[in-house]
Structure 1
Amino acid sequence: MASPSTSLSLQGSLPPYLKHMIRCFPPPPPTCTHPTCAIRAPSPPQRPSVERGTLESRRQILETFRYTRQIAQGWLEIHHVKDDKELEAAALLLAEPYSRAMHLSDGTMPVAAFVLKQDMAERRVLVPHVALLVGFYYKDRDGEEAELACTADISFDAIGAHPSPGTPRPPKEYPYIGNVAVKKTLRRKGIGSQLIKACEELIIQMKAERKVYLHCRVTDTGPLRLYEKTGYKVVKTDSILVWLRCKPRRYLMSKELPLNTDEKQSDASDCKHCPI
């Protein structure tokens, strides 16, 4: 498996995140409580909202999601983060590529892991508009010992979009796969491709938009081959000015997910009733 640091995006997200939440949930207008006041305060503007049933069904999908595949010399199970223990383990896994991307020394990895855990905990507030996936590697499917193998972050819509995903900027209303990482000792087992497929399967189950975006550094030829092999194509490239600012240039890549069998049958059924 190639380098896992192709899609890191949790960098300084707290201030923009707070601004985003304030815009989404503005405070109600002040009302006059004076007994002689006859002027009514203006009603707050009506905002479109997602139906509660839809949100609950999405949460249920995340809670029950399991992606299990046999890989080289073992098994891989990917699911949504269950608790703080798994969140901390994912942050530790991301700390190494994060530190390398930020040109930090190995001694700063514990600090990087702490920062990443805080950012990921803040992202969990936006569930089910986001998902934090973790994958565990089992040498024996029936064995009890498991090793954290990979992690990824998915935003399904504009509400869960990363506040600072970096450039080239993906459209917020479409799903975005970020913070992809595979444990160094478990690479070249096919875990990276299975992680991407798990993300895509979950996006389909969550009934999000089918056009998916992700980032890949221009210099990361291994991950680029992986993404191209799984169907992603470069749609935009960072300007040379990014490189002049001593930052790695990145590709913005995209893929249109295919319809599943049920959806194809539904579309065909609808088509039969369409006037010619």
Structure 2
Amino acid sequence: MTLKYPDNNVERSIELSVETATNEDTQAISLILAKSFYNFPEFAHWIYPFLQFTINEDLRYRLRSHSPLYFCLVAKLDQGNYQTTTQQTSHSLLRCKTTERVRTIGQNPYNSNLIVVGTVEIALRSPSVWSSHLQYPYISNLAVRKEYRRLGIGSKLLHKCEEIALNWGFKETRLHVLDNNNSAKQLYKNNGYQVSSTETNWSNLWFDYSPRLLLKKQISTN
């Protein structure tokens, strides 16, 4: 991955790896998900450890299923390399050119400097219990650590999910996003996702209500 810094227009190469998640990654993943999808006021931050524990247990259960039609992916950066680079330049980055080498799914060489900076899940899902429609690849829980956003990591995770969907024999992926999540909506738009329908978000009626958008993408095989 090549990062361009606005202060001196210098490009530095940082390797990003996308791998299948293991049990050793679940603590980092659950923290990223808790911080990304739940925004509690400061006086209620004590809730995060309990929320993280619940997310962690749910994730470990999914990983134990060993389903061939489910993947949890993690994006990892070399912490030492990244810290050295940011110490030499401004941390406010303009853009990322995705020239990184991505490891094949399943490879996970041990490296104590690698830190989890993003995650995503993909699985086959049915429209509903009573539906006669066929299953489809559904992307969920796409999240990137706050300090590593706007570097193209989310796009790389999406692309890897689309590769998995193609390997399963599908040419379409679907996902949901809240209508008030403008940054996520822009990410999906930039990656070719289009709004298919708007749904009532019953789970958030007592909090910050926002309808859910169902997005779809036809995957190019070129």
Residue 201 of structure 1: aligned partner = 163
Matches within 5 A, 1:226-241: 226-239=187-200
Residue 100 of structure 1: aligned partner = 39
| CA–CA separation in structure 1 for the residues paired with 2:165 and 2:116 | 22
Residue 10 of structure 1: aligned partner = none
Measured after TM superposition, the shift of residue 116 of structure 1 is 0.5
Residue 177 of structure 1: aligned partner = 139
TM-score of the aligned structures, taking structure 2 as reference length: 0.70
Counterpart secondary structure, 1:100: coil
CA RMSD, Structure 1 to Structure 2 (Å): 3.1
- AA aligned to 2:159 is K
Residue 253 of structure 1: aligned partner = 215
- The alpha-carbon distance between structure 1 residues 134 and 241, as it changes in their structure 2 partners (threshold 3 A), is closer
Measured after TM superposition, the shift of residue 120 of structure 1 is 1.0
Q: Does 1:153 pair with 2:121?
A: yes
Residue 136 of structure 1: aligned partner = 76
Q: Does 1:119 pair with 2:119?
A: no
Q: Does 1:222 pair with 2:183?
A: yes
- The alpha-carbon distance between structure 1 residues 219 and 134, as it changes in their structure 2 partners (threshold 3 A), is same
- The alpha-carbon distance between structure 1 residues 123 and 146, as it changes in their structure 2 partners (threshold 3 A), is same
> Which structure carries more strand by proportion?
2
Measured after TM superposition, the shift of residue 259 of structure 1 is 2.2
1:96-124 deviations in Å (ceiling 9; x for gaps): 123328x9932111111110011112222
TM-score of the aligned structures, taking structure 1 as reference length: 0.57
Measured after TM superposition, the shift of residue 245 of structure 1 is 5.1
Give unpaired runs (5+ residues) of structure 2: 4-11, 83-99, 101-110
8 Å Cα contact 1:136/1:146 also seen in 2: yes
Measured after TM superposition, the shift of residue 202 of structure 1 is 2.1
Counterpart secondary structure, 1:231: coil
8 Å Cα contact 1:151/1:179 also seen in 2: yes
